[in-house]
Copies of this chain bind each other. A is one copy, B any other.
Amino acid sequence: MSSSIPTVLPLVTKLRNYAALSPQEEQVLDEAVAGIREYESGQDIVVEGTSPNHSSLLLSGLAGRFNMSVEGKRQITSLHIAGDFVDLHSFLIKPMDHSIVALGTCRIATVPHATLTAITEQHPRLTRLLWLNTLIDAGTHRRWEFCLGTLQGHQHLAHLVCEMYLRLKQISQADNNSFHLPITQGVLSECLAQSVVHTNRVVQQLRAENVISWERDLITIKDWDRLAEMGEFDPTYLRMPVSDGLTAA
Contact A97 B128 (CB under 8 A): no
Question: Which stretch (A24-32, A35-43, A67-75, A196-204) binds chain B?
Answer: A67-75
A139 at the binding interface (Cβ < 8 Å): yes
What's the nearest-Cβ distance from chain B to residue A167, in Å? Answer: 15
Contact B232 A135 (CB under 8 A): no
Contact B142 A245 (CB under 8 A): no
What's the nearest-Cβ distance from chain B to residue A110, in Å? Answer: 16
- Candidates B113, B118, B239, B244; contact of A245 at CB < 8 Å: B113
Interface size on A, residues (CB 8 A): 57
Stoichiometry, copies per complex:
2
Q: Could you give 6 example pairs across A and B, Cβ below 8 Å?
A: A77-B145, A89-B139, A97-B236, A134-B135, A141-B141, A145-B145
What's the nearest-Cβ distance from chain B to residue A193, in Å? Answer: 3
> Which B residue sits closest to A144, measured CB to CB?
B145
Q: Which of A174-200 contact B (CB under 8 A)?
A: 193
Cα separation A239 to B97 with both chains bound (whole Å): 9
5 additional contacts (CB under 8 A) given A51-B244, A120-B131: A92-B243, A121-B248, A124-B124, A135-B138, A148-B148
Given contacts A97-B237, A128-B120, A245-B117, contact A69 B232 (CB under 8 A): yes
A137 at the binding interface (Cβ < 8 Å): yes
A20 at the binding interface (Cβ < 8 Å): no
- Candidates B150, B244, B249; contact of A94 at CB < 8 Å: B244
Q: Which residues of B contact A91 (CB under 8 A)?
A: 245
Q: Which of A88-146 contact B (CB under 8 A)?
A: 89, 91-95, 97-98, 113-114, 117-118, 120-121, 124, 127-128, 131-132, 134-139, 141-146
